[in-house]
A and B are shown apart, each in its own frame.
With several copies, the nearest count.
Chain A
Amino acid sequence: MAELLYREALNQALREEMRRDPRIFLMGEEVGFYNGAFKVSKGLLDEFGARRVIDTPITEGGFTGVGIGAAMVGLRPIIEMMTFNFAILALDQIVNNAVKVRYMSGGQLAVPIVIRGPGGPSRQLAAQHSQSLESLFCHIAGLSVVAPATPRDAKGLLKSAIRQNNPIIFIEGQELYSTKGDVPDGDYTIPIGRAEVKREGADVTIIAWSKMLLLALRVADDLAKDGVNAEVVDLRTLKPVDYDTLLGSVRKTGRAVIVEEGWKFCGVGAQIATDLYHRAFDAFDAPVERVTGYDVPMPYAKHLEQLALPTAERVIEAVKKTLYR
């Protein structure tokens, strides 16, 4: 067990997996000589060389397509989006090629590709650089989407993502890179598709992922002082959803609040809420509450940006609503 930064944990996962399997390569903007825009790939060029750690021109669609093509001939590409904002430019390659080549070919091909990078709003980066796009990817049939919140989950989930054989979206919290946490030594994996109860409680279930998990845990502590004992579930994998864990929790608490940093309409929270109702209609003592980013482009000004995103106050208010307080 060592205390590592989230970015260091990801770096370890990349390094260990690349040592294990020579078919794995890392491709993206500034991943090599620059050691990564957020230093996640620090030192990888030195260790693995320019053949396996490849800097690209600014062509997200192009190099994502290149990664898919390489996967079609047996390689295992890891494509870094400098930030997920730019993945929109690769969306056609992801939607129409990465996830469909296998099906269209009747199973002749597989596309084991990890598309990873930082996501989520980040300090005053404004409308074009500050947004949560995970729900867009979650809608696509055949895509798995992962969004770890802790260094331990980041390393273990990235290893699982790299080892599985299908296109997967791996969204790192841009604001989490410098957060610390205990990480088991050496090789371990965290299974894809498993949520985790990060805090036990009996009164209400707060469901969150990525940066919002930290908010949820903070809120849970505040609520405890108020005598409200909140259970906090870290979704970790957004798709496929681990309904067993979620249902186990809401059956116990009868109440759920979903905290989501992105836009509300057609967000992941909508899917989860609907499915929970559908599978445990009678378990709910109150409607599911959703706390999300507001449906506006992200403003630059700090004070407006803070208002645009979920706050502790809004989460607490939502929890109290579920408790009819």
Chain B
Amino acid sequence: MSPAERLELYRQMVLIRRFEEKCAEMYALAKIGGFCHLYIGEEAVAVGAISVLRPDDYVLSAYRDHGHCLAKGSDPKRVMAELFGKQTGLCKGKGGSMHLYDVERRFMGGYAIVGGHIALAAGVAFGLTYQQQDQVVLCFFGEGAVPTGVFHEAMNIAALWKLPVLFVCENNRYGMGTPVERASAIYDIAQTALAYDMGHSTVDGMDVLAVHEAVGRIVTDMRRTPRPYFLEARTYRFMGHSMSDPAHGHYRTKAEIDEHKKRDPILLFGQRLIELGEANADRLRTIDAQMQQVVQGAIDFADTSPPAPPEELFTDVLA
């Protein structure tokens, strides 16, 4: 990986961070509605993992999907327009925050039924195998999805049929207000793969390079020998579960959050880049300023875009 590539990872993480900080503002202004789940604190997982992929590889995510969509290369303008419910949005405003899609970039959607999309991801991988293609599928979901039946059905099918899908469990310790210890019989979530003789490991989800390297190894192997893999990325959500949830309900303390913020993935990676001598504080500040501009551009675009015409209510139901 070249210094330029590492800087690109930094750029993407900052873009996602600034993008979502603005989302919070826009939500407060009621320009964004519905459920809005921010990825702040977890950026290293999506950026590190997706940076390994080819443009023609596939990604699916749950409802906390802004980061994955942007990391897959979607235009921030069209993402923000989608959140604003505008005609120029990725999905013409029909999907919204929880259901971003950018099929051209092989981002196959964000899904709001916990666990449900994991079977779809196995299906996309099945489709690739069926068509003898060599792409891989990355499927992101939270640790809260691991107890769901559909997750297990998909794991067994993927392992049994050797499907090229990487299950990336973003273990941010909580499913809404429920800590993993009260939702799962196992604390080391990666262990779930033992039930399927599936390769598995755990990675520091706050370290973008660690994620990049781990996923790099896995995907290289997967292209050579198609078979699924389960990666648990240990991360942490800095904000509330959704915009309607306080950063720390009484289910976790402010102190706990502050502790984790010391390992803010952007902070850590910035320091790393400086240590590596690949950037200095100024360079990082410049990137930050640039990303803020990009986000402002997205806001302006979304703001000035027209809403979808009423007829759109009845289109896209049937093909």
Contacts and interface: CB of A to CB of B under 8 A. Distances in A.
A and B directly contacting (CB within 8 A): yes
Interface of A: 25, 29-30, 33-34, 37, 51, 55-59, 61-75, 85-86, 89, 92-93, 96-97, 101-112, 123-129, 141-142, 165-166, 294-297, 299-304, 307-308
B101 A300 contact: no
B228 interface: no
A299 B312 contact: yes
A34 B313 contact: no
Given A57-B157, A104-B109, A301 B123 contact: no
A56 B117 CA distance: 19
B92 A123 contact: no
Nearest to A107: B316
A296 B317 contact: yes
B251 A93 contact: no
Nearest to B34: A124
Contacts of B308: 301, 303-304
Interface residues of B, number: 75
A65 B116 contact: yes
A29 B113 contact: no
B116 A96 contact: yes
Nearest to A101: B109
B176 A29 contact: yes
A242 B81 CA distance: 40
A93 B160 CA distance: 21
A301 to B, nearest CB: 3
A300 B99 contact: yes
Contact of B33 (A55, A69, A124, A129): A124
A57 B183 contact: yes
Contact of B317 (A66, A102, A303): A102
B124 A128 contact: no
Contacts of B92: 106-107, 301
Nearest to B148: A58
A66 B95 contact: no
A72 B137 CA distance: 13
A143 to B, nearest CB: 10
10 contacts: A30-B177, A56-B157, A57-B144, A61-B119, A68-B119, A106-B93, A107-B92, A165-B319, A300-B93, A300-B95
Interface string B109-131: 10111111111111111111011
Contacts of A127: 94-95, 99
Interface of B: 33-35, 58, 85-86, 89-99, 101-104, 108-109, 111-128, 130-131, 144-145, 147-150, 153-154, 156-157, 160, 175-178, 182-184, 249-251, 307-308, 310, 312-319
A89 B120 CA distance: 15
Contacts of B131: 73-75
A102 B319 contact: yes
B120 A72 contact: yes
A129 B156 CA distance: 26
Contacts of A97: 111, 113, 116-117, 120
B94 A304 contact: yes
B124 A73 contact: yes
Identify which of A37, A105, A294 gathers the most chain B CB atoms within 10 Å of its CB. A105
State the 9 A-B residue pairs at the shortest beta-carbon distance, nearest first. A69-B123, A65-B119, A62-B153, A300-B96, A301-B85, A106-B91, A124-B34, A34-B177, A110-B319
A32 B89 CA distance: 38
Given A59-B149, A75-B127, A126-B99, A300 B157 contact: no
Nearest to B33: A124
Given A103-B317, A302-B85, A58 B94 contact: no
Contacts of B119: 61-66, 68-69, 93
Contacts of B101: 104-106, 108-109
B314 A294 contact: yes
B145 A126 contact: no
A124 B130 contact: no
B187 to A, nearest CB: 13
A30 B178 contact: yes
Given A65-B116, A297-B317, A300-B34, 9 more contacts: A34-B249, A61-B150, A62-B122, A69-B122, A69-B126, A73-B124, A96-B113, A97-B111, A124-B96
A148 to B, nearest CB: 21
Contacts of B307: 301, 303
Contacts of A126: 34, 94-96, 98-99, 112
